[in-house]
């Protein structure tokens, strides 16, 4: 059992385990009102690390497993899992640190795509644990369109939303709904093999560090919420993260490299491009809805936050309305 004196809290349910100031492991506890759900998630992560060869790129970035079971914290015994403490800075922090940080993130995007592809190729049945399964496959996008339309009803039609008057944005949502139906027919018209998903892929859950030679490498993949689903869901989530954090040129560069690392053909097939687009748009609409909420009495003015990001999300929706999955040809590796 891991005992209290070795622990240093770094998050609500996360501790560093080490002695003499040296971090050896990252301990995550199954606590709080959803402790059983958290324990199931941690048990799946532990099973993945037992299965994957630590000498592979995926195994190296997941890190090893130190402990799974009871932990003594503040005089109480709770369940937890301790993973290797992995070095590096998360990609979000790097991207926000300036031009050199952006260049570092772009340099590891292809490697990250390859590591994700390796995760998606893991035999989920071999984990030996029950996995949640995603069956919605982009259908949540209809919910977000409906929710955004509802949020816009009380807004003055002349107020701008991401560079468009609210009246025009409402029209964009109507057009997007039609585009989504076409994408659904294209993306899910033929079967695909379910994959093991990270299910919370964004820059904050990926670590990178510079080698002594100065080149950057992915050093850690964190906080996975494993489930079965479409591997392109993780790809779309990372593309959405990139849209949020980079300017347009860096966003396209990141997507190009990510896609080249994930698939040799860079999503050459229409069904793959359609599904990636659906997942990207689903996340983008979710972000717009997150930025939008205001008290009912104040909904005559759009919140003056994340303005540049709003413009980028609205521009993405407009490109999808105009070109469906073909907008991805802008960032395909072979274009």
pLDDT in tens, 277-301: 999 999 888 888 777 654 444 444 4
Range scoring the smallest mean pLDDT among 1-5, 38-42, 265-269, 277-281: 1-5
* Mean pLDDT (whole number) for 117-140: 86
C-beta atoms surrounding 106 within 10 Å: 19
Give the CATH fold of the 89-330 domain. Answer: Aminoglycoside 3'-phosphotransferase; Chain: A, domain 2 (3.90.1200)
- 310 vs 254, which has greater pLDDT? 254
State the Cα angle at 4 between 3 and 10, rounded to 5°: 120
Q: Please give the C-alpha separations between residue 132 and each of 160, 250, 286, in angstroms, as whole numbers.
A: 40, 34, 22
* Mean pLDDT (whole number) for 257-282: 88
- 100 vs 152, which has greater pLDDT? 100
Whether the Cβ atoms of residue 31 and residue 42 lie closer than 8 Å to each other: no
Q: Which residues of the chain does CATH 3.90.1200.10 include?
A: 89-330
Q: What is the pTM of this model?
A: 0.89
- 50 vs 71, which has greater pLDDT? 50
Q: For residue 334, give both structure tokens.
A: 């072979």
Q: Which residues of the chain does CATH 3.30.200 include?
A: 4-84
Whether the Cβ atoms of residue 325 and residue 267 lie closer than 8 Å to each other: no
Residues 166, 172: Cα–Cα separation, whole Å: 10
pLDDT digits (tens, 9 = 90+) for 299-332: 444 444 455 677 788 888 888 998 888 878 777 6
Q: For residue 231, give both structure tokens.
A: 């591997």
How many Cα atoms are found within 13 Å in the side-chain-facing hemisphere of 253?
13
Extract the runs of DSSP E, i.e. beta strands, from the chain: 7-9, 14-19, 22-29, 65-73, 76-84, 89-90, 160-161, 164-165, 195-197, 206-210, 216-221, 227-229
Mean pLDDT taken over the chain: 86
The predicted pLDDT at position 302 comes to: 46
Residues 169, 153: Cα–Cα separation, whole Å: 11
- In CATH, the architecture of 4-84 is 2-Layer Sandwich (3.30)
């Amino acid at each position: 059992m891991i005992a209290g004196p070795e622990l240093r809290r770094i998050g609500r349910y996360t501790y560093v385990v080490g002695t003499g100031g040296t971090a050896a492991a990252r301990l995550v506890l199954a606590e709080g009102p959803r402790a059983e759900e958290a324990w199931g998630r941690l048990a799946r992560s532990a099973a993945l690390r037992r299965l994957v060869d630590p000498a592979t790129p995926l195994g190296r970035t997941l890190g090893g497993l130190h402990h799974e079971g009871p932990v003594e914290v503040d005089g109480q015994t709770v369940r937890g899992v301790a993973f290797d403490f992995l070095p590096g800075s998360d990609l979000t922090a790097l991207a926000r640190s300036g031009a050199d940080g952006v260049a570092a993130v772009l340099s590891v995007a292809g490697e990250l795509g390859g590591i994700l592809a390796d995760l998606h190729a893991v035999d989920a049945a071999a984990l030996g644990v029950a996995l949640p399964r995603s069956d919605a496959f982009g259908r949540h996008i209809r919910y977000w369109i409906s929710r955004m339309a509802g949020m816009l009803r009380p807004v003055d039609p002349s107020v701008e939303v991401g560079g468009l008057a609210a009246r025009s944005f409402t029209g964009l949502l109507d057009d997007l709904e039609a585009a989504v139906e076409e994408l659904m027919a294209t993306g899910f018209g033929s079967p695909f093999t379910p994959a093991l998903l990270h299910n919370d892929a964004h820059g904050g859950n990926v670590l990178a560090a510079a080698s002594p030679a100065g080149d950057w490498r992915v050093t850690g993949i964190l906080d996975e919420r494993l489930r079965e689903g479409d591997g392109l869901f993780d790809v779309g989530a990372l593309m959405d993260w990139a849209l949020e954090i980079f300017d347009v040129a860096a966003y396209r560069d990141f997507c190009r490299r990510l896609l080249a690392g994930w698939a040799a053909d860079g999503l050459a097939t229409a069904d793959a491009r359609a599904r990636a687009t659906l997942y990207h748009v689903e996340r983008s609409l979710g972000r717009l809805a997150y930025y939008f909420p205001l008290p009912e009495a104040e909904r005559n003015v759009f919140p003056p936050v994340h303005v540049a990001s709003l413009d980028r999300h609205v521009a993405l929706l407009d490109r999808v309305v105009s070109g469906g999955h073909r907008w991805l040809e802008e960032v395909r590796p072979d274009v």
